[in-house]
Structure 1
Amino acid sequence: MKRVQICADDYGFDAAVSQGILDGIDAGRLSATSCMVLSPAWAQWAPALRERAGAADVGLHLDVNEFAGYARRSLSGWIAAAYLGAIARRDADAWVASQLDAFEATLGRAPDYLDGHQHVHQLPVLREAVVAALARRYGRGCALRNTRARRWRGPKAAVIAALGAGRLQGLAQAQGLAMNRDFAGVYDFGPEARFGELVAAWLAGLPDGGLLMTHPGRAGGTETRADPIRAARVREHAFWLSTEAGELLARQGVQLGLCADWR
């Protein structure tokens, strides 16, 4: 048996995404979810996580490019700004602190871990602000997502890791912050993707203490903002609630893991 954290990103994005993630937690197929505390839907959906305390890890999904008032850049614009030195450290410190404050104020506790919407937490300046804030506020009590895969999982996954995983890992290790031992779940969200087959391959390759990222959600419109991956979310949601998913986990000897497994 091995323990793998299966983490649903984007909780709080809207009602369809949030309810879809709760479905997966309640079915025993998800063991973590990452929260978008700047979304206008967050306050409505946060109580459901308090009601499920202990059922899954709950983390902060650091957001600078979706619901943030400072989200005036595209993802590529944020990447460029980070690497060109166009993000002020004092601004990054304030953004991280305000989102951690919002998480704590709503859920009444610290996050179990922190990651980033579209992995922005590993970009220059943002990563330094993140690690400093976690160490200062929680000591070693809050884990951190590592996007580095230990084996080849495609060019998109390699690009994501190259944008800062190595440097973030070094900073985290210096502060004694726990990180997942491997990372999977990256694909193009296209309709041709056979999600069940992808999950089977990812789980087969992940070690104990690994992390599988997923983006399930229910069908339906959104009350917040356009969701370009809605169709993929619906397919992922259907898979995780299927008999196929349960049989796959059992066949591969996978137990749902938590951040505590990374320490």
Structure 2
Amino acid sequence: MTAAPAPRRISLCADDYGMSEGVNRAIRDLIGKGRLSATSVMVVGPAFTRNEIDDLKAVARDRPGFSIGLHLTLTAPYHPLTLHFRPQKHGEFLKLGKLLQTALLRRLDVEIFRAEIVAQIEAFTTMLGRAPDYVDGHQHAQLFPQVRDAFLSAVKEHAPNAWVRQCGRGGEKPRPVKDAKALMLDVLSVAFRERATRAGLRFNPAFAGAYKFSKKPDFGKLFERFLHRLPDGGLIMCHPGFVDATLVALDPLTDQRRAEYDWLMSDDFPRMLAANNVTLA
């Protein structure tokens, strides 16, 4: 007889609250059904408004322990909050690839990035009336060289009780790398964890949820893979949403957001958690 899997508690976080009203509404639906542990808020998104935040706070109020964090955003097509932010192009942050390239060449001004990160923490704190429970990064930019130094310094000073997201995979044994993105996140997360530890900041022990969105795979099968070997306390990110005009204008990830939402709202999701002896933190 096969032994039952050991019990685990994991966090399931929906990123991108504030990107569009359709994304916001889908995330609130899932919170109301108890299908999420947390959501990360983009303060530079067009749907980061008083009404949208009030609606988020209202639904989260009925879910004790639900976490709301800052989804630090430093890539196009979004605009910086600070007046003298550099580098930028046509008033926007750099695109992801260009930011990574510039960071790897150590050509960023750490203090300029720190000022922008502080501004986003303060915007979150002002709108929600409290500091973020945690801070992560849109497109994982918080892991990049130089950016991570600015990021950890700003969080340490302005949200010292928050934990931060690292994006390395967990598990007792090394797992095969199926794509370059997972490998890059593993590598970048090593230095990030070392610096976070030195700064005295807490972070998640393991991470899952990255995949090639453009291929539109079966999200249920992907989620089962995410659960495999994810240790107790691990974090899975997700990106549920309803497609609206704002989302289409801002982000290439559209229909797959609805696929994630539909599966997370389905009965298959709690059945999979139960079969794996997993509960949401």
TM-score past 0.5 threshold: yes
SS at match of 2:101: helix
User: Does 2:200 match 1:190?
Assistant: no
RMSD: 1.6
SS at match of 1:114: strand
SS at match of 1:42: coil
TM-aligned CA deviation for residue 247 of structure 1: 0.8
SS at match of 1:245: helix
SS at match of 1:23: helix
Contact 2:240 2:259 in 1 (8 A): yes
| Alignment match, 2:199 | 175
**Structure 1 CA distance for aligned equivalents of residues 229 and 214 of structure 2:** 22
Aligned CA distance change for structure 1 residues 152 and 18 (closer, same or farther; 3 Å)? farther
Identity %: 34
**Structure 2 CA distance for aligned equivalents of residues 114 and 224 of structure 1:** 26
Aligned CA distance change for structure 1 residues 192 and 85 (closer, same or farther; 3 Å)? closer
| Alignment match, 1:158 | 183
TM-aligned CA deviation for residue 223 of structure 1: 6.6
SS at match of 2:245: coil
Q: 1:47 aligns with which of 54, 64, 84?
A: 54
TM-aligned CA deviation for residue 90 of structure 1: 1.5
| Alignment match, 2:44 | 38
User: Does 2:79 match 1:68?
Assistant: yes
Q: 2:165 aligns with which of 139, 145, 149?
A: 145
Alignment of 1:7-26 (within 5 A): 7-26=13-32
User: Does 2:150 match 1:126?
Assistant: no
The one-letter code of the counterpart of 1:61 is H
The one-letter code of the counterpart of 1:160 is L
The one-letter code of the counterpart of 2:117 is V
**Structure 2 CA distance for aligned equivalents of residues 216 and 22 of structure 1:** 10
TM-aligned CA deviation for residue 49 of structure 1: 2.3
| Alignment match, 2:268 | 244
**Structure 2 CA distance for aligned equivalents of residues 238 and 99 of structure 1:** 31
Q: Which has the higher contact order (CA 8 A, sep 6+)?
A: 1
**Structure 2 CA distance for aligned equivalents of residues 47 and 201 of structure 1:** 35
| Alignment match, 1:83 | 104
| Cα displacement string for residues 8-49 of structure 1 (whole angstroms, at most 9, x for unaligned residues) | 111110011111111111111110111100112101421122
TM-aligned CA deviation for residue 158 of structure 1: 1.2
Contact 1:13 1:224 in 2 (8 A): no
**Structure 2 CA distance for aligned equivalents of residues 45 and 213 of structure 1:** 21
Name structure 2 gaps, 5 residues minimum: 1-6, 81-87
Aligned CA distance change for structure 1 residues 134 and 56 (closer, same or farther; 3 Å)? same
**Structure 1 CA distance for aligned equivalents of residues 32 and 65 of structure 2:** 8
The one-letter code of the counterpart of 1:170 is E
SS at match of 2:246: coil
TM-aligned CA deviation for residue 159 of structure 1: 1.9
User: Does 2:274 match 1:253?
Assistant: no
The one-letter code of the counterpart of 1:62 is L
TM-score (norm 2): 0.86
**Structure 1 CA distance for aligned equivalents of residues 94 and 154 of structure 2:** 24
SS at match of 1:190: helix
**Structure 1 CA distance for aligned equivalents of residues 177 and 254 of structure 2:** 23
User: Does 2:112 match 1:102?
Assistant: no
Instruction: Report the count of equivalent residues.
Output: 255
| Alignment match, 2:3 | none
**Structure 2 CA distance for aligned equivalents of residues 193 and 217 of structure 1:** 16
Q: 1:92 aligns with which of 113, 116, 124?
A: 113
SS at match of 1:98: helix
**Structure 1 CA distance for aligned equivalents of residues 203 and 147 of structure 2:** 17
Contact 1:14 1:223 in 2 (8 A): yes
TM-aligned CA deviation for residue 227 of structure 1: 2.4
| Cα displacement string for residues 104-153 of structure 1 (whole angstroms, at most 9, x for unaligned residues) | 000011111111100001111211111112222233x1100010112345
Name structure 1 gaps, 5 residues minimum: 258-263
Contact 2:121 2:158 in 1 (8 A): no
Which structure: larger Rg?
2
